Amino acid sequence: MAALGASNVLITATDMASYLTDWRKRYIGQARAVLRPGSTEEVAEAVRIAARHDVALVPQGGNTGLSGGATPDESGTQAVLSLGRLRAVRSIDPANNTITVEAGCILAEVQDAARAAGRLFPLSLAAEGSCTIGGNLATNAGGTAVLCYGTTRELCLGLEVVTPAGEIWNGLRGLRKDNTGYDLRDLFIGAEGTLGVITAAVMKLYPQPAAQVTALAAVSSPHAALKLLELAQGAAGPLLTGFELMSDFCLELVRRHFPQMRYPFAQRYPQVVLLELSDNESEAHARGLFEGMMETAFDDGLVLDAVVAESLTASRAFWDLREHIPLAQAEEGLNIKHDIAVPISRIGHFIDYTDALIAAAAPGARMVVFGHLGDGNLHYNVQTPEGGDARAFLNRYQEQLNRLVYDSVVAHHGSISAEHGLGRLKIEDNARTKSAVELGLMRTLKQALDPHGRMNPGKVIGGVR
Ligand SMILES: Cc1cc2nc3c(=O)[nH]c(=O)nc-3n(C[C@H](O)[C@H](O)[C@H](O)COP(=O)(O)OP(=O)(O)OC[C@H]3O[C@@H](n4cnc5c(N)ncnc54)[C@H](O)[C@@H]3O)c2cc1C
C-alpha cells in the first residue's frame, strides 16, 4: 500500500465494483485489490510486489473490451492493475509525425492532442470516449479507419512495457525502420495483457485531411456492396477511409429503438453502405471524385439510391446510425455476437452460406449483419426470433450457432476474432480452430515471458495457475 499510496489500493467491494465486471456484463469477477499506480515506476513496483506474494495481475484500461479480457476470475485471488492514472501525453513530434502517450490516455484525448498539433490520429471507434490507448494496443483494436490506416498495431512505432518480472523495457522508438532483431513490440500488441503491461507508446500521426465526404449508398446485396468497394478503391485509392455495411434489419432495429434518429432514404433497401472519402486537396476535389464514382456506380446498376452529407452534422448523423446498431441490438434483447474476418473476396459467399446454415439450424433467427466491409470484418450477430424468449433461445442455440459460424469462418480461411480479441470468451473456440503448431508456439512464448503465469492468467490461451 505504501508504494502506491493507500488511496490507490482499493479493497472494499464498493470501491472495486466497477473494475470487476466487463462492459457486456457477461463476467463478474472477484479481486483481492485494485491497484492504481500513477507512473511506469509504480507499475513496475506493483508487479514486483505482486510477484513476491505470488498474486496474478489483470491489467485494465477503460474496461470497454468485449471479450472479458480485463475482468479478474471468480477466485478472489487476483488483483486488477488499472492503468487509468497513467494519463500523460509525453511528447508530440509533428516533424516525425509521432505522439508519445501513456497507456491510460483515453483514445479521444490522443485524437484531440494530435488535432491540436495540426495532425490526425486516425484510430476511431465507438468506445473512444472511454477506451485507453493501452487497451487499444493490448487488443490490437480496429475501428472505422483500418481500410486506410491499418489496425492499432500498424499505428504503433514503439512501446514501453513492464515485464512480468517487474523490469521496465523502454522501446519508445519513433522509427519507421528498425531491423535489429526480434520485434518485441509486436509481441505485446494484441497479447491482451498476458505477456506484460504496456505503460506508454509512440504512435503514428498523419496530416489532417482538408475535406471529408460522407455518404450513404443503398445496394441490393453484400455482393453489390463488394463491387461498389472495388469501384470506390479503384477511383479513390487511399482516399477511401471508410466503407461500412449495414443490412436493412440493422437499420430497422435502430429505427425501432431510436426513433428520433433520421433515416435519410424515402424507402427501405436491402443493404446500405456508409462511405467516407478523406481528401488532402479540397472539398470540391473530394466531391468531384465522389460524384464521378457514384455516376459510374449508378450506370453499372450497383447503387439503387445515394445521399451525401451536406454538413458535419449530417456526416455525424450517418456515423451515428452505424454506431447505434449495437445499442439497438442490446435494446432488442439478448443476442449472439460474432466478430469475424474473412478475405474480402469471400464475404459474399460467407454470408449466403452461413445465413442458410443458421436458418436451417434455428428457424426464425434474425441475422444482424454489419461491419467494416472494407476490412473483411463483419459483426455477424444472431437475434432471437421475433417475440421469442431470448434466454431460452440462447440456452438452446448459442453453442451450436457459435460452432456453426466459426466452422464456416475456418472454411472461408478467416479469423474467429477480427478486432475484439479472445479474452476469456473465445479461448475454446480458438483452441479448436487453430493448428497444434500455432497453439504450441503461443504457449512457448507465454512460458518464456511469463514462466509463473502471473500476467492475466486464463485469457487468450487459457490455462489456470
Ligand atoms: C460501444 C463499443 C464499441 C466498440 N467498437 C470497437 C471497434 O469498432 N473496434 C474494436 O477493435 N473494438 C471495439 N470495441 C472494443 C473495445 O473498445 C476495444 O477492445 C478497446 O481497444 C479496449 O480498450 P480498453 O482500454 O477499454 O481496454 P480494457 O477493456 O480495459 O482491456 C482490454 C484487454 O487489454 C488488456 N489491457 C488493457 N490495458 C492494458 C495495458 N496497458 N497493458 C497490457 N494489457 C492491457 C486487458 O487486460 C484486456 O485483456 C468497442 C467497445 C464498445 C463498448
Which DSSP helix (H) or strand (E) runs through 186? helix 184-188
Eight-state DSSP code of residue 451 = T
Neighbouring residues of 356: CB distance < 8 A, sequence distance ≥ 6: none
pLDDT value at residue 261: 93
Shortest-distance atom of ligand 1 to CA 419 = 11
CB 166 within 8 A of CB 454: no
Centre of ligand 1 from the C-alpha of residue 296, in Å: 39
pLDDT value at residue 3: 82
Q: What is the CA radius of gyration of the chain?
A: 23
Q: What is the dihedral of CA 197, 200, 202, 206, to 10 degrees?
A: 110
Q: Provide the grid cell at 85.
A: 492514472
Q: Provide the grid cell at 210.
A: 482538408
Shortest-distance atom of ligand 1 to CA 456 = 47
pLDDT value at residue 155: 98
How many other CB atoms are found less than 10 A from the CB of residue 317?
Answer: 17
pLDDT value at residue 180: 94
CB 185 within 8 A of CB 158: yes
What is d(CA 201, CA 339) in angstroms, rounded to the nearest whole number?
A: 26
Shortest-distance atom of ligand 1 to CA 161 = 42
Reading the chain (465 residues) residue by residue, the pLDDT tens digits are 678 988 999 999 999 999 999 998 889 999 999 999 999 999 999 999 999 999 999 999 999 999 999 999 999 999 999 999 999 999 999 999 999 999 999 999 999 999 999 999 999 999 999 999 999 999 999 999 999 999 999 999 999 999 999 999 999 999 999 999 999 999 999 999 999 999 999 999 999 999 999 999 999 999 999 999 999 999 999 999 999 999 999 999 999 999 999 999 999 999 999 999 999 999 999 999 999 999 999 999 999 999 999 999 999 999 999 999 999 999 999 999 999 999 999 999 999 999 999 999 999 999 999 999 999 999 999 999 999 999 999 999 999 999 999 999 999 999 999 999 999 999 999 999 999 999 999 999 999 999 999 999 999 998 655
Residue nearest to atom 9 of ligand 1 (CA): 143
CB 320 within 8 A of CB 205: no
Shortest-distance atom of ligand 1 to CA 104 = 41
**Ligand 1, residues at Cβ distance < 6 Å:** 23, 58-66, 69-70, 83, 103, 125-127, 131-132, 134-136, 138-139, 141-143, 192-193, 197-198, 326, 419-420, 423, 456, 459
pLDDT value at residue 1: 61
- 3-state class (DSSP) for residue 116: helix
pLDDT value at residue 464: 52
